[in-house]
Protein backbone atom coordinates (compact mmCIF):
# COMPACT_ATOMS: atom_id res chain seq x y z
CA UNK A 1 0.00 0.00 0.00
CA UNK A 2 1.46 3.39 -0.96
CA UNK A 3 1.81 6.19 1.57
CA UNK A 4 -0.09 9.47 1.24
CA UNK A 5 3.18 11.11 0.16
CA UNK A 6 3.79 8.53 -2.59
CA UNK A 7 0.24 9.01 -3.85
CA UNK A 8 0.67 12.81 -3.95
CA UNK A 9 3.98 12.51 -5.83
CA UNK A 10 2.40 10.17 -8.39
CA UNK A 11 -0.22 12.85 -9.15
CA UNK A 12 2.38 15.61 -9.24
CA UNK A 13 4.44 13.70 -11.84
CA UNK A 14 1.35 13.24 -14.03
CA UNK A 15 0.50 16.96 -13.78
CA UNK A 16 4.08 18.02 -14.57
CA UNK A 17 4.09 15.79 -17.66
CA UNK A 18 0.87 17.46 -18.87
CA UNK A 19 2.03 21.07 -18.48
CA UNK A 20 5.67 20.61 -19.48
CA UNK A 21 6.84 23.05 -22.15
CA UNK A 22 9.88 22.69 -24.47
CA UNK A 23 13.28 23.52 -22.97
CA UNK A 24 13.74 26.52 -25.27
CA UNK A 25 10.48 28.09 -24.18
CA UNK A 26 11.29 27.47 -20.51
CA UNK A 27 14.70 29.11 -21.02
CA UNK A 28 12.92 32.16 -22.49
CA UNK A 29 10.63 32.35 -19.45
CA UNK A 30 13.64 32.06 -17.13
CA UNK A 31 15.40 34.93 -18.87
CA UNK A 32 12.39 37.21 -18.39
CA UNK A 33 11.44 36.02 -14.88
CA UNK A 34 10.86 38.61 -12.12
CA UNK A 35 14.03 39.56 -10.24
CA UNK A 36 14.73 37.39 -7.18
CA UNK A 37 13.82 38.93 -3.81
CA UNK A 38 16.06 37.82 -0.92
CA UNK A 39 13.96 35.44 1.18
CA UNK A 40 16.83 34.65 3.57
CA UNK A 41 17.17 38.35 4.43
CA UNK A 42 13.40 38.60 4.97
CA UNK A 43 13.52 35.71 7.44
CA UNK A 44 16.63 37.07 9.18
CA UNK A 45 14.93 40.27 10.36
CA UNK A 46 14.45 40.68 14.15
CA UNK A 47 11.41 39.03 15.73
CA UNK A 48 9.34 36.09 14.57
CA UNK A 49 8.76 36.00 10.82
CA UNK A 50 5.45 34.81 9.41
CA UNK A 51 5.27 32.81 6.19
CA UNK A 52 1.57 33.25 5.39
CA UNK A 53 0.07 30.67 3.10
CA UNK A 54 -2.50 30.87 0.32
CA UNK A 55 -4.08 27.46 0.88
CA UNK A 56 -7.49 26.21 -0.22
CA UNK A 57 -7.32 22.60 0.94
CA UNK A 58 -5.10 19.90 2.41
CA UNK A 59 -5.04 16.08 2.35
CA UNK A 60 -5.61 15.94 6.11
CA UNK A 61 -8.40 18.52 6.45
CA UNK A 62 -10.01 18.63 3.00
CA UNK A 63 -11.41 21.99 1.89
CA UNK A 64 -10.33 24.87 4.14
CA UNK A 65 -11.51 28.04 2.41
CA UNK A 66 -12.86 29.31 -0.88
CA UNK A 67 -10.17 31.64 -2.15
CA UNK A 68 -11.55 33.26 -5.29
CA UNK A 69 -8.86 35.94 -5.40
CA UNK A 70 -5.53 34.61 -4.09
CA UNK A 71 -3.77 37.89 -4.89
CA UNK A 72 -6.20 39.85 -2.73
CA UNK A 73 -5.57 37.47 0.19
CA UNK A 74 -1.83 37.86 -0.37
CA UNK A 75 -2.21 41.64 -0.21
CA UNK A 76 -3.97 41.25 3.16
CA UNK A 77 -1.04 39.12 4.34
CA UNK A 78 1.45 41.73 3.18
CA UNK A 79 -0.46 44.55 4.88
CA UNK A 80 -0.76 42.44 8.05
CA UNK A 81 2.98 42.04 8.49
CA UNK A 82 3.86 38.74 6.79
CA UNK A 83 7.55 38.37 5.87
CA UNK A 84 6.98 35.89 3.06
CA UNK A 85 3.92 34.61 1.23
CA UNK A 86 3.62 30.92 0.46
CA UNK A 87 1.46 29.84 -2.46
CA UNK A 88 0.40 26.23 -2.98
CA UNK A 89 0.78 25.12 -6.58
CA UNK A 90 -0.10 21.43 -6.09
CA UNK A 91 -3.46 20.91 -7.81
CA UNK A 92 -5.02 17.67 -6.64
CA UNK A 93 -4.84 17.59 -2.85
CA UNK A 94 -4.26 21.27 -2.10
CA UNK A 95 -6.28 22.78 -4.99
CA UNK A 96 -3.51 25.23 -5.81
CA UNK A 97 -2.13 26.20 -9.20
CA UNK A 98 0.63 27.97 -11.08
CA UNK A 99 -2.05 30.55 -11.98
CA UNK A 100 -2.54 31.31 -8.27
CA UNK A 101 1.20 31.83 -7.91
CA UNK A 102 1.58 34.17 -10.88
CA UNK A 103 -1.49 36.18 -9.81
CA UNK A 104 0.07 36.71 -6.37
CA UNK A 105 3.48 37.56 -7.85
CA UNK A 106 1.94 40.40 -9.85
CA UNK A 107 0.36 42.04 -6.81
CA UNK A 108 2.78 41.78 -3.87
CA UNK A 109 6.37 42.86 -3.27
CA UNK A 110 7.30 40.30 -0.60
CA UNK A 111 9.38 37.20 -1.35
CA UNK A 112 7.25 34.24 -2.49
CA UNK A 113 7.63 30.61 -1.47
CA UNK A 114 6.51 28.07 -4.03
CA UNK A 115 4.90 25.33 -1.92
CA UNK A 116 4.70 22.08 -3.85
CA UNK A 117 6.20 18.63 -4.05
CA UNK A 118 9.30 19.39 -6.09
CA UNK A 119 10.38 16.02 -7.49
CA UNK A 120 11.81 16.92 -10.92
CA UNK A 121 14.50 19.25 -12.28
CA UNK A 122 11.84 20.76 -14.50
CA UNK A 123 9.88 22.02 -11.48
CA UNK A 124 13.00 23.67 -10.04
CA UNK A 125 13.43 25.71 -13.22
CA UNK A 126 9.68 26.29 -13.45
CA UNK A 127 9.71 27.79 -9.93
CA UNK A 128 12.20 30.46 -10.96
CA UNK A 129 10.43 31.05 -14.29
CA UNK A 130 7.16 31.91 -12.47
CA UNK A 131 8.94 34.24 -10.03
CA UNK A 132 9.61 32.12 -6.94
CA UNK A 133 12.22 33.42 -4.49
CA UNK A 134 12.09 30.48 -2.11
CA UNK A 135 11.33 26.86 -2.92
CA UNK A 136 10.22 24.01 -0.69
CA UNK A 137 12.30 20.85 -0.87
CA UNK A 138 10.97 17.99 1.26
CA UNK A 139 13.60 15.54 2.52
CA UNK A 140 11.02 12.73 2.76
CA UNK A 141 10.03 13.18 -0.90
CA UNK A 142 13.52 12.96 -2.42
CA UNK A 143 16.53 10.69 -2.55
CA UNK A 144 19.72 12.17 -1.09
CA UNK A 145 21.15 12.68 -4.58
CA UNK A 146 17.95 14.37 -5.83
CA UNK A 147 17.87 16.63 -2.78
CA UNK A 148 21.49 17.65 -3.29
CA UNK A 149 20.99 18.28 -7.03
CA UNK A 150 17.78 20.29 -6.62
CA UNK A 151 19.26 22.25 -3.72
CA UNK A 152 22.27 23.23 -5.86
CA UNK A 153 20.07 24.06 -8.87
CA UNK A 154 17.76 26.19 -6.72
CA UNK A 155 20.67 28.27 -5.48
CA UNK A 156 22.34 28.49 -8.91
CA UNK A 157 19.09 30.01 -10.16
CA UNK A 158 19.29 32.63 -7.40
CA UNK A 159 16.51 31.29 -5.16
CA UNK A 160 16.70 30.07 -1.58
CA UNK A 161 15.49 26.68 -0.34
CA UNK A 162 13.27 25.81 2.60
CA UNK A 163 14.34 22.27 3.46
CA UNK A 164 11.49 20.46 5.22
CA UNK A 165 12.18 17.80 7.85
CA UNK A 166 10.00 15.60 10.06
CA UNK A 167 12.47 13.65 12.22
CA UNK A 168 16.07 13.49 13.44
CA UNK A 169 17.38 11.54 10.43
CA UNK A 170 15.91 14.05 7.98
CA UNK A 171 17.25 16.95 10.03
CA UNK A 172 20.75 15.45 9.85
CA UNK A 173 20.42 15.21 6.05
CA UNK A 174 19.32 18.87 5.86
CA UNK A 175 22.22 20.03 8.03
CA UNK A 176 24.75 18.00 6.02
CA UNK A 177 23.37 19.66 2.89
CA UNK A 178 24.35 23.06 4.27
CA UNK A 179 20.76 24.32 4.34
CA UNK A 180 20.35 27.87 5.63
CA UNK A 181 16.56 27.62 6.11
CA UNK A 182 15.21 24.45 7.71
CA UNK A 183 11.57 23.70 8.37
CA UNK A 184 10.23 21.26 10.94
CA UNK A 185 6.83 19.94 9.90
CA UNK A 186 4.97 18.38 12.80
CA UNK A 187 2.73 16.53 10.31
CA UNK A 188 4.10 13.28 8.89
CA UNK A 189 3.34 13.41 5.17
CA UNK A 190 3.40 9.63 4.88
CA UNK A 191 0.61 9.09 7.44
CA UNK A 192 -0.79 12.65 7.94
CA UNK A 193 -0.46 12.17 11.69
CA UNK A 194 0.73 15.14 13.75
CA UNK A 195 3.56 14.68 16.24
CA UNK A 196 2.86 17.31 18.91
CA UNK A 197 6.44 17.04 20.21
CA UNK A 198 8.21 17.40 16.86
CA UNK A 199 8.99 21.09 17.45
CA UNK A 200 10.26 20.36 20.99
CA UNK A 201 12.56 17.60 19.74
CA UNK A 202 13.92 19.13 16.56
CA UNK A 203 13.96 22.95 16.72
CA UNK A 204 16.59 23.08 19.54
CA UNK A 205 18.85 20.76 17.48
CA UNK A 206 19.12 23.25 14.63
CA UNK A 207 22.26 25.38 15.14
CA UNK A 208 22.23 29.16 15.36
CA UNK A 209 22.94 30.72 12.01
CA UNK A 210 20.29 28.52 10.40
CA UNK A 211 16.75 29.90 10.10
CA UNK A 212 14.37 27.60 12.01
CA UNK A 213 10.83 27.42 10.61
CA UNK A 214 7.95 25.70 12.45
CA UNK A 215 5.32 24.28 10.10
CA UNK A 216 1.82 22.83 10.72
CA UNK A 217 -0.69 22.99 13.54
CA UNK A 218 0.00 26.60 14.59
CA UNK A 219 -3.29 28.13 15.69
CA UNK A 220 -2.76 30.49 18.62
CA UNK A 221 -0.46 33.04 20.22
CA UNK A 222 0.38 30.33 22.78
CA UNK A 223 1.62 28.02 20.02
CA UNK A 224 3.82 30.78 18.65
CA UNK A 225 5.20 31.68 22.11
CA UNK A 226 6.19 28.05 22.62
CA UNK A 227 7.97 27.98 19.25
CA UNK A 228 9.80 31.20 20.16
CA UNK A 229 10.92 29.62 23.46
CA UNK A 230 12.32 26.67 21.49
CA UNK A 231 14.40 29.05 19.36
CA UNK A 232 12.17 29.15 16.29
CA UNK A 233 12.72 32.08 13.93
CA UNK A 234 9.65 31.75 11.73
CA UNK A 235 6.24 30.12 11.49
CA UNK A 236 4.51 28.86 8.37
CA UNK A 237 0.74 29.23 8.78
CA UNK A 238 -2.04 28.43 6.34
CA UNK A 239 -5.23 27.02 7.80
CA UNK A 240 -5.50 29.45 10.73
CA UNK A 241 -5.11 32.47 8.45
CA UNK A 242 -7.33 31.39 5.55
CA UNK A 243 -10.12 30.70 8.06
CA UNK A 244 -9.68 34.05 9.86
CA UNK A 245 -12.27 36.75 9.19
CA UNK A 246 -9.38 39.18 8.68
CA UNK A 247 -6.07 37.64 7.62
CA UNK A 248 -3.98 40.66 8.59
CA UNK A 249 -5.45 40.76 12.09
CA UNK A 250 -4.84 36.99 12.26
CA UNK A 251 -1.12 37.53 11.69
CA UNK A 252 -0.93 40.27 14.32
CA UNK A 253 -2.77 38.05 16.84
CA UNK A 254 -0.30 35.19 16.32
CA UNK A 255 2.58 37.61 16.85
CA UNK A 256 0.99 39.01 20.01
CA UNK A 257 0.72 42.56 18.66
Catalytic residue IDs: 53, 55, 115, 164, 185, 215-216
Instruction: Please name which of 1, 34, 5, 40 lies closest in space to residue 138, comparing C-alpha atoms.
Output: 5
**3-class DSSP state for residue 45?**
coil
The per-residue b/e assignment along 61-90, b for 16 or more CB within 10 angstroms, e otherwise, is eeebbebeebbebbbbbbebbbbbbbbbbb
Q: How far apart are CA 77 and CA 99, in angstroms?
A: 18
Instruction: Please name which of 167, 132, 125, 175 lies closest in space to residue 150, comparing C-alpha atoms.
Output: 125
Count Cβ atoms below 10 Å from residue 257 Cβ, excluding itself.
11
**Cβ–Cβ < 8 Å for 51, 84:** yes
Instruction: Please name which of 212, 215, 216, 192 lies closest in space to residue 204, comparing C-alpha atoms.
Output: 212
Amino acid sequence: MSTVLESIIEGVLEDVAQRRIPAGKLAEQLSSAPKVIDALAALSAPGTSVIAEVKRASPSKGDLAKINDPASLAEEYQAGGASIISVLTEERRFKGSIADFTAVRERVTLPLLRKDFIVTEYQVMESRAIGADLQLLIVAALSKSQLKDYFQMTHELGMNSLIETHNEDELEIALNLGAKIIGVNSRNLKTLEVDPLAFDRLLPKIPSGVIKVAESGIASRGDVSHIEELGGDAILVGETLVKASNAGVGIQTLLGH
